[in-house]
Structure 1
Amino acid sequence: MLEMLTAKDIIELLRNHYIAPSKPSPGFFCPELSDPTDKRRADLIWVPTTWQERGQLIGHEVKVSRADVVAELADPTKADAWARYCDRWWLVVSDPALIDGLTIPEHWGVMAPPSKRRRRTMTVLRPAPQLTPADKTLALANVLARLHNTGDDVFTRMQRLERERDTAVRTAERLETVNARLGEQLRGTAARPRETEKITAILDAVTKRTKTGGRHQWLQADPDAVAVAALDYALIRRKTQFLLRRIDERVSQFSRALAPTDVTDIVEGLTGLSRRVQKDLDDADAAADVDTLTR
């Protein structure tokens, strides 16, 4: 599995090597740092701040394939762009096998990923000797520039997090308000179980009717449509009942006005009309025509 590690993976292993989890950092961890001439980059510069190592610069070159190692060893002076300012210089490989049979410069130490027994500390294949660095002023200036830029990045991230926190707080407050309203509605519904049962029964009946095939099979039991249709139906029913009462009144008036005269045919005709209208009303009431309900 170790031979599949990427350079980014190795950098994270080095971070764990130098900085113990849940403890203050004993130094500055500066990956991908340009040298003072801005021509080359070190994969990692570690700047310890402990009393014993304060002021040192420890450089690292990371390689994850044998071809990369061979290319680096073909011209070791490329590393000098940073190594000349460092107190130690490490070649860090993803697997010890990458350097088998190769000659490593004497002033380089060699590291590999942690062994199974030591999961945080890197495996030292060869210690890095103490070097005699050149004047570090320009190199330390690069480190300070990195720390300054990192501080700006952290400040920007903190501002963004504060804005996101404020947004989250406002969202939570709105959700609490909505939740409270829903709770009130639910409590109100629970206090009127009979009304709730009636509404549920109406919707179930309409849904059942719309699923029974024919020309109504694709209708949907939309609550708003049901409410409007129910109101329309109630209005039609009231008007029909009013019409029936008027017809009955007219029949009675005709009967009284024409009592001496044989008006049997007229009375029977009007009575038949009244019965037909009443029958239509009863049929509509029993069937609850879906066309009327969904209109």
Structure 2
Amino acid sequence: MVDIFYPLQWIADKLTYEVFGIAPDTNLGASVNFIIYDVMKIFVLLAVMIFFISYLRTYITPEKTRKVLGGKKGLQYHLLASLIGTITPFCSCSSVPIFIGFVEAGVPLGVTFSFLITSPLVNEAAVAALWATIGLKATLIYVISGTLLGVFGGYFIGLLKMEKYVADFVYKIKVGDQTKKLEDLNIKERATISYESVKDIVGKVWIYVIIGVTLGGIFHGYAPEGILAKYAGKDNPFAVPIAVLIGVPLYSNVMAMIPVIESLIGKGLPIGTALAFLMAVNAISLPEIIILKKVLKNRLIGVFVLIITASIIFTGYLFNIIL
């Protein structure tokens, strides 16, 4: 792959070694260069990806989605719900209101869970940051696996026929189409909406990007080579489940976690173990579970957490085998 980010690396080198006068063969030089380069690269990809997905999103309203998925069953609809999840809400908590709307509109519970699972796992910001840090190949594998987790996780929940564990009031809510008629927008108006999305999302996550990249840069420059491979490498059969079990109760912004994951991989942590940890942090967050408790009963929440946890562990082992 052509290094389209070479100009950014050139700028990082100039700033680190000439402007700041830090020697290139030092731990400090490695850390500072990593931080400058990664911050620039992540922000560039964030702007491009968010603009593109936001523009596409102007054609896909929640009401349209509910009409397409309402009352539909079959793996193809789980796949469609997962794909919709990849271009909708930015975090797990903001996915919940749409989840409620889907249930109210008659979308099967399993199909609705396919959306809920994929939405926080795969979004434009995460894809941009992953691409910038661990490369296109690993990012594509992450996106495909996150989508499939949604498909099969939702499918299994649907097979269990757990509709009775949804709070009764959810089915009584009347959700109207509160969106402006996006079909009437012209190209300039859609571009304006997309630009505003870039400002909004970057405005919310920029601090997490800087914090995450800084932590990753410190680890990149100062952590001993191979330390993680020794304690959490492929030879440790419990590394993946331990990483997932740590990630499940942990709540962190994905933008802060990805640069840290990059550094951990660079120091010897297997990609599968690292991505399984990242998936656990994003797919099952404590705030999401707290919000879901208002609309779902404990048994359904427990099944949801168990299925996703087991699926992520399986995915982590699979990644470690094929990558």
TM-score (norm. length: structure 2): 0.20
Larger helix proportion, structure 1 or 2?
Answer: 2
The higher relative CO (CA closer than 8 Å, separation ≥ 6) is in: 2
Larger strand proportion, structure 1 or 2?
Answer: 1
Larger radius of gyration: 1
TM-score (norm. length: structure 1): 0.21
